[in-house]
Amino acid sequence: MARTRRPLIAGNWKMNGLRADGLALAKGVADGVKQAGWSDRDVLVCPPATLVLAVAEAVKGSGVLVGGENCHAKANGAHTGEIAAEMLHDCGATYVIVGHSERRADCGETDAIVRAKAEAAWRAGLVPIVCIGETLAEREAGKTLSVLETQLKGSVPAGSTAANLVVAYEPVWAIGTGKTPTTPEVAAAHAHIRKVLGGLTGEAAQFRLLYGGSVKGSNAAELLAAGDVDGALVGGASLKADEFLAIAKAA
């Protein structure tokens, strides 16, 4: 059966890149996407907040989309050091990552906070990419599917549709470690996520589900071919244009 969901390859730059580095990387990705002429997949880069505006201007007209790595739940106010979804939108972003495991761990973000941020993204006209994933201890205890279900039910807002929200599954233990689940394990996790979404929305079959966690050019084709995988949320490999483009090509 032919794939009906449009693949999305998203790069999460994390806390990397000064202006010169970021612009060079953005230009490399933009040039590669333009040269490839893809019309059947979406390519997204999510730079740190300091680079969103410059990167959005650098990739304009290339087809490359731009997103933020995080946003606050409020539109404005006394929240020193935070960035509102409206600010990201104002800089040219169309997506924003919320609930990444590094935010959940480093900043204590709960499912409720993640849900509020996803709703804030909608308020600003952005599509949130809601991240979920289990730790190594949870996987070894056989709790992977229950953890994913709990996080989904707590993090995905009411009113979510395939057009206004993306879900990214990132096993915490696979991020930046070079380790990845087996393809059947990835497929099983994604199938469970889609099943849980079926109880939350009438559009579960249309939702784009991304896999993240040590995705690189050499394993992208296999991971992206797993059942119910509609793209990737790429970390370290998104910092090299050639590597990121190889992953996008695999989609």
**How confident is the model at residue 1, as a pLDDT?**
33
Six-digit token string for 49? 């907040």
Q: Does 147 score more than 60 pLDDT?
A: yes
Nearest to 53 by CA among 90, 17, 26: 90
The reply to whether 57 falls in a domain is yes
Active site annotation includes 170: yes
For helices 144-155 and 111-124, angle between their N-to-C axes, nearest 10 degrees? 40
The reply to whether 2 falls in a domain is no
Q: Does 178 score more than 90 pLDDT?
A: no
Which CATH number characterizes residue 79's domain? 3.20.20.70
Q: What is the mean pLDDT of the chain?
A: 96
pLDDT digits (tens, 9 = 90+) for 62-90: 999 999 999 999 999 999 999 999 999 99
Across residues 34-43, what is the average pLDDT?
A: 97
pLDDT digits (tens, 9 = 90+) for 43-67: 999 999 999 999 999 999 999 999 9
Higher pLDDT, 3 or 186: 186
* Residue 70 annotated as binding site: no
CA distance 57 to 186: 35
Across residues 217-236, what is the average pLDDT?
A: 96
Active site annotation includes 243: no
What's the number of domains the chain is made of?
A: 1
**How confident is the model at residue 180, as a pLDDT?**
85
From its phi and psi, is residue 202 left (phi > 0), alpha (psi between -120 and 50) or beta? Answer: alpha
Residue 98 vs residues 4, 221, 247: alpha-carbon distances, Å: 25, 26, 22
Claim: this prediction has a pTM higher than 0.95: yes
The reply to whether 1 falls in a domain is no
Domain hosting residue 157, numbered range:
8-250
Q: Does 29 score more than 80 pLDDT?
A: yes
The reply to whether 79 falls in a domain is yes
* Residue 92 annotated as binding site: no
* Residue 13 annotated as binding site: yes
Across residues 117-141, what is the average pLDDT?
A: 97
Across residues 167-176, what is the average pLDDT?
A: 94
Across residues 214-233, what is the average pLDDT?
A: 96
Across residues 114-143, what is the average pLDDT?
A: 97
**How confident is the model at residue 4, as a pLDDT?**
82
Instruction: Give the residue carrying structure tokens 């040590």.
Output: 214
Across residues 143-150, what is the average pLDDT?
A: 98
* Residue 99 annotated as binding site: no
**How confident is the model at residue 2, as a pLDDT?**
41
**How confident is the model at residue 179, as a pLDDT?**
86
* Residue 176 annotated as binding site: yes
* Residue 38 annotated as binding site: no
The reply to whether 95 falls in a domain is yes
* Residue 236 annotated as binding site: yes
The reply to whether 203 falls in a domain is yes
CA distance 245 to 165: 24
The reply to whether 25 falls in a domain is yes
- Active-site choice (100, 134, 190, 192): 100
Sign of torsion over alpha carbons 208, 133, 112, 202 = positive
The reply to whether 3 falls in a domain is no
Residue 131 vs residues 23, 53, 234: alpha-carbon distances, Å: 26, 24, 12
**How confident is the model at residue 3, as a pLDDT?**
54
- Active-site choice (69, 134, 170, 243): 170
Q: Does 142 score more than 50 pLDDT?
A: yes
